Amino acid sequence: MKILICVKQVPEIMDVKINPETGTLIREGVDSILNPFCEYAVEMGLELKRHYGDIETVAISMGPPQASSALIRCLEMGVDRATLLADMKFAGSDTWATAFTLAKTIRAMEGDFDLILVGKQAIDGDTAQVGPELSEILGIPQIMYGVSVELTGNKKKIRVKREIETGNEIVEIKLPGLVSLSKGPMIRCISSFKEILDARKKELRVAAASDLNIDENELGLRGSFTQVVKIFPPQVKKTGKLIDGSEPQGAAKKLIGFLRERKFV
């Protein structure tokens, strides 16, 4: 059995920079991390492997060369091997172009697979669209916002508990299929020193656009159906005032003074 885990490297939230010409995030030279929801997807894949055995796990990501650090993190967690799609022709991809490129990669480099796991969303864009689009392009069923996954029917089906507005529901689909993961009960793991060393011995393949046999007009900004008109980090606004309540009478005087100053009393 083979589980593919599509992951994304994202910039640290407090260190976001925007390209004023393209309206896209500047990732080069910015401290980045493996998207937390992608970590939950990785952990779920590894949990299935630990529980059922005889499962190969493969992490796939698209991004600049520095995104290899996110895949190394996956290998340190226990993933068997990884593939990085790194080419300037991929730059500026919207959700559709990203999903399309990932689908072409899966078909060209992986062939058969049983299950694809993704994080429910990336913390930089928060669109939650790549997973569903990927499943539609590949023509496989999908379950969104899963919190637990189990194999059934002699590993021919999966049963997923997923989040809905009113609580949880149980859904079952035939494999191959795709599941996006929310946090649920999973805890992001800390790799041992041995796992960190072993990760350096695992395969981390880097592929370019030329390896996928795709028309360049279907990649990156050219292949994107949507275009970001403007994107910017929100302005930090300092609001409110903290009053130390350890001395009640003094705190009360400060509170009354604050309210009078703003003409609330």
Torsion of the alpha carbons at 109, 112, 114 and 115, rounded to the nearest 10? 20
Please state, in angstroms and as integers, the Cα–Cα distance from residue 141 to each residue in 58, 157, 169, 176, 177, following that order: 20, 11, 17, 8, 5
Of 4, 9, 124, 125, the residue nearest 70 (C-alpha): 9
Beta bridge partners of 58: 4, 81
Helix, coil or strand: residue 25: strand
Share of the chain above pLDDT 70, in %: 92
Q: Above 90 in pLDDT, residue 188?
A: no
- Separation of alpha carbons 10 and 32, rounded Å: 5
Q: Is the pLDDT of residue 45 over 80?
A: yes
What is the percent of the chain with per-residue pLDDT over 90, rounded to a whole number?
A: 55
Pull the structure tokens for residue 111. Answer: 């062939």
Q: What is the pLDDT of residues 206-252, one digit of tens each?
A: 999 988 888 888 999 888 988 777 766 667 777 777 888 889 999 99
Question: Would you place residue 27 in the very low, low, confident or very high pLDDT band (cuts 50, 70, 90)?
Answer: low
Taking the C-alpha atoms of residue 13 and residue 101, their distance in angstroms, rounded to an integer, is 26
**What digits encode the pLDDT tens for the residues 52-61?**
989 999 999 9
What is the distance between the alpha carbons of residues 180 and 128, in angstroms, rounded to a whole number? 9
Q: pTM of the entire structure?
A: 0.79
Per the document, the length of the chain is 265
Higher-pLDDT residue of 48 and 22 is 48
What rounded mean pLDDT belongs to the chain?
A: 88
Residue 8's pLDDT is what? 92
Phi-psi region of 234 (alpha: psi -120 to 50; beta: other; left: phi over 0): beta
> pLDDT tens digits, residue range 108-129?
899 899 999 999 998 887 888 9
For range 48-53, the mean pLDDT: 92
* Buried b or exposed e, range 227-263, using 16+ CB within 10 angstroms: ebeeeeeeeeeeeeeeeeeeeeeeeeeeeeeeeeeee
Q: How many CA atoms lie within 13 A of 265 on its CB side?
A: 7
Q: Extract the tokens encoding 257.
A: 């003074």
Determine the Cα–Cα distance for residues 159 and 12; give it in Å rounded to an integer: 34
